Structure 1
Amino acid sequence: MIDYPTLKIIWWLLVGVLLVGFAIMDGHDMGVGTLLPFVGKGDEERRVVINTVGPHWDGNQVWFITGGGAIFAAWPLVYATAFSGFYWAMLAVLWALFFRPVGFDYRSKIHNATWRSTWDWGLFVGGAVPPLIFGVAFGNLLQGVPFGFDDYLISTYTGTFWQLLNPFALLAGVVSSAMITMHGGTYLAHRTEGSIQQRAVRGAVGAALVMVLAFVGAGLWLKFGDIEGYVITSQIDPAALPDPMSKTVARSADAWWLNYRQQPLLWLLPALGIAGALAAATLVAARRTLSAFIASALALVGVIGTAGAAMFPFVMPSSSQPNASLTVWDSVSSHLTLGLMFWATLIFMPLIVFYTAWAYRVMRGKVTAEHIRANEHTAY
């Protein structure tokens, strides 16, 4: 069996892969939902927009479910603490996501303008709210979350919901929202034509520029603002059993930049985030839509990777009890659990990727108004 320290690193990487997979696959569905009321003028155009993602959105949401399940199984302390501290935020995400299945299923069941417009805005909420909240959550992780543990390792969140909505976290939410909207816009431009495609292009380009400005602004804020990072100041035994209270942690203004100073190649991640977004904007404007979608996906990899690399080995820092901060080394499951999960992932993840690729290949091509008219009773 693979040794325990290596499995801890592998699962940090695999959780990252699942988060990136969720952002790329379900992210473009959410981005399309965010753009739906603005790129579709009239019922027929909005049905075109919905049908670009209708056959795939539920399959893509598997990445979200799998990511949550992986965190639960691989990082149980992180799962429990996050759902305690971010309880109302997580509920808001779930409430927003409820609009997606009922919106897709019920929206076109009744030929009534008010009914359909209401569900269009419901799909907008289901697409726009989750990325915003996820970005706000990441912004709070970079600042530290106010929680601690008692003698029985029971976590207690000492903050409030409104504390989560601080200026830096909201800026991180703008980054997340803009990059998902950009990603959805490039996908929509690839699957449509005519006036819908033109509006999707404008949306993608605008979102890409907002993402770059907000991303650079967040980086400068971390560098020159009053946000302190976290650094472990005691010796760590990577092979030790999980115990988040077995270390000492200090706060430092340059802590989140330490990994970048030690490993200069990590600067390729923020560069990829910026270059990918600008390339996506340029390519989609030139109607090279498939290349734009790939560039947009790479931008997502760069942005998410930038945050992960800055925080490593921290997963969930604590602002009220720094020594209780959860890291890759001390918040994981047992050696046996990580090993069994690794081999299961090695078998099943390629199957998911293969099936997803096959489904997209079968349903490739442009969605047009003529297609909607010809499939009135089967299209969304």
Structure 2
Amino acid sequence: MFDYETLRFIWWLFTGVVIIAFVLTSGFDFGICALLPFLGRNDLERRAIINTVGGTWEGNQVWLILLGGALFAVWPPVYATLFSGLYVAMLLVLFALFFRPAGFDYRSKLEDPTWRNAWDWGLFVGGTVPPILLGVLVGNLVQGLPFHFDEDLRPFYEGSFLGLLNPYALACGVVALLICLFHGAIYLKWRTEGELYRRAQALVEVLGPVLLGAVALVAAWTVLAMKLPEITAMAGAGAPSNPLNKTVTLSGSWAGRFFAQPGLLVAPLLGFGGLFLAWRSAMGHASLGAFLWSALGITGLLLSLGFGLFPCLLISSSHPSHSLTIWDASSSQFTLALAFWITVVFLPIVLAYTRWVYKVLWGTVTPEKILQDQHTLY
């Protein structure tokens, strides 16, 4: 039905949708867990905070699994390069995520304050470390990673874990954490009442300007200092994937990319504007509006990243001509077509089920409701 190049582009879009869905849903999960020890002043308040996401966090995590599956099936060179070269960083993300199921499920098993406080800090680790490390990953994707392929297309990563922790990448990690905290505080404000509501609102009022300033700083850093690959020659349309069949120079710029195609400027404007309007709306009582603006702002930032990097999936800083693009890093046409139809069938089911779960479990969560339902809530 679709030719090879069209399928590659469709799967670039699908991958972007999964990334956006993961950030929007797990983003407020991470933020709420990171805020748990600070906004909850006693056990009942912390249980109320946990139960705002307690029934849905596992479903939100599905998007991360789908992303890993998409990389494995659709973009195998990207999967091989990332998961072999960044092995330590990926393991740290995985180990931090282990605190989430254990924390949610085991915290309420004992009433001992020391036990529960320890799991609260475990949830804090599970909500803080992943967004920082994933933000660091994004920063390194923008800068490029030192990797190359041999003649048999085996990837070789030339960097180290400490090399990932450069100033620009760490700044991206801070922005990622701030986004999760801001998104999570707005969601918490939406789902709670009373004192928790007031604390969440006060936090959003402070986080808003800090986040906007941090995003502006990293955006300026990106535009002024980061280079983009320029593909000067590559294999013809429909050619089999081979990242070595092209010529690339690191001569492009982010400003040049967006101003050459002014329509792309909608994405960064949406990012900044959405976050600003989320902050202004949250200062009032428009919790739903603030959350929707926050989601729109985050989507705009992710679209800016995707539009700026297109068609690259991974930039090689050491061997620019070995950079992976959507045109030379995909699976076969048959695999892309098969995965496409599987996605077309099952993605609407996932979305419909997610919508149903949120509808059934929706409502404000307060300490008083926790007291009324001690045995079924976290």
Indicate whether the TM-score tops 0.5. Answer: yes
Structure 2 counterparts to residues 269-348 of structure 1, below 5 A:
269-348=267-346
- Once residues 145 and 130 of structure 2 are traced to their aligned partners in structure 1, the CA distance between those partners, rounded to angstroms, is 19
CA contact (8 A) 1:185 1:203 kept: yes
Partner Cα distance (1:197, 1:350) in 2: 34
Deviates more, 1:193-202 or 1:10-19: 193-202
Deviations 1:279-325 (A, max 9, x none): 11111110211111111111110111111110100110001111110
More displaced 10-residue stretch of structure 1: 174-183 or 99-108: 174-183
Letter in 2 for 1:244: P
Deviation at 1:355, TM superposition (A): 0.8
- Indicate the residue corresponding to 2:199 in structure 1: 199
Structure 2 match to 1:144: 144
- Structure 1 pair 378/222, CA: closer, same or farther in 2 (3 Å)? same
Aligned to 2:90: 90
Whether contact under 8 Å (1:28, 1:180) holds in the other structure is: yes
What is the Cα deviation at residue 257 of structure 1?
Answer: 3.3
Aligned 8 A contact 1:233 1:250 in 2: yes
Partner of residue 60, structure 2: 60
The residue type paired with residue 310 of structure 1 is G
Counterpart in the other structure of 2:102? 102
- Consecutive unaligned residues of structure 1, counting only runs of 5 or more, are none
> What letter is aligned with 2:56?
H
Deviation at 1:341, TM superposition (A): 0.8
Helix, strand or coil: the match of 2:280? Answer: helix
The match for 1:233 is 232
Aligned to 1:248: 247
- Partners in 1 of 2:71 and 2:222 — Cα distance? 26
The whole-number CA distance in structure 1 between the counterparts of 2:361 and 2:117 is: 26
Distance in 2 of aligned mates of 1:246 and 1:45 = 58
- Number of residue pairs matched by the alignment: 378
Distance in 2 (CA, whole Å) between partners of 1:160 and 1:75 is 23
Secondary structure of 2:109 counterpart: coil
Identity of aligned residues (%): 48
The letter for the 1-side match of 2:108 is S
Q: Distance in 1 between matches of 2:205 and 2:76?
A: 39
Matched, 1:219 2:219: yes
Is this contact kept in 1: 2:259–2:265, CA < 8 A?
no
8 A Cα contact 2:234 2:245, kept in partner: no
CA deviations over 1:92-116 (Å, ceiling 9, x no partner)? 1000000000000000111111111
Residue type of the partner of 1:324?
H
Check the 8 A contact 1:276/1:296 in 2, yes or no. yes
User: Which amino acid in structure 2 is aligned with residue 366 of structure 1?
Assistant: T
Contact 1:178–1:208 under 8 Å retained in 2:
no
- Structure 2: give runs of 5+ residues left out of the alignment: none
Structure 1 residue 206, shift from structure 2 partner: 2.9
CA shift for structure 1 position 224? 2.2
Residue 230 of structure 2 aligns to a residue whose secondary structure is: strand
Q: Which amino acid aligns with 1:228?
A: K
Secondary structure at 1:365 match in 2? coil
1:330 positional shift: 0.4
Note the C-alpha offset of 1:237: 2.2
- Please tell me the root mean square deviation across aligned C-alpha atoms, in Å: 1.1
Q: Distance in 1 between matches of 2:234 and 2:375?
A: 65
Q: Is the 8 A contact 1:18 1:67 kept in 2?
A: yes
Inter-partner Cα distance in structure 2 for 1:340 and 1:365: 40
Contact 1:31 1:180 in 2 (8 A): yes
Structure 2 distance, partners of 1:210, 1:84, is: 35
| TM, length-normalised to structure 2 | 0.98
**Aligned counterpart, 2:40:** 40
Bigger shift: residues 192-201 or 323-332 = 192-201
Corresponding position of 1:364: 362
Other-structure match for 2:3 = 3
CA-CA distance at 1:363 after TM superposition: 1.2
Residue 209 of structure 1 aligns with which residue?
209
Once residues 257 and 339 of structure 1 are traced to their aligned partners in structure 2, the CA distance between those partners, rounded to angstroms, is 35
SS for the counterpart of 1:230 is strand
Q: Is the 8 A contact 1:258 1:310 kept in 2?
A: no
Distance, in Å, in 2 between the alignment partners of 1:205 and 1:355 is 34
Q: How many Å separate the matches in 2 of 1:211 and 1:201?
A: 15
Question: Residue by residue, what CA displacement relative to the aligned partner does 1:32-89 show, whole Å, maximum 9, x if unpaired?
Answer: 1111111111111000000100011011111110111111111000001011221111
**1:80 is matched with which residue?**
80
What's the CA shift for 1:236? 4.5
User: CA 1:378–1:83 in structure 2 vs 1: closer, same or farther (change >3 Å)?
Assistant: same
- Determine whether 1:349 maps to 2:347: yes
In 2: Cα distance, 1:222 partner to 1:360 partner: 37
Q: Aligned partner of 2:351: which letter?
A: V
In the alignment, the residues of structure 1 paired with residue 76 and residue 203 of structure 2 have an alpha-carbon distance, to the nearest angstrom, of: 39
SS in 2 for 1:373: helix
Q: Distance in 2 between matches of 1:282 and 1:94?
A: 35
Q: Aligned pair 1:181/2:181, yes or no?
A: yes
Give the distance between the partners of 2:210 and 2:170, measured in 1 at CA.
14
Aligned residue type for 2:233: S
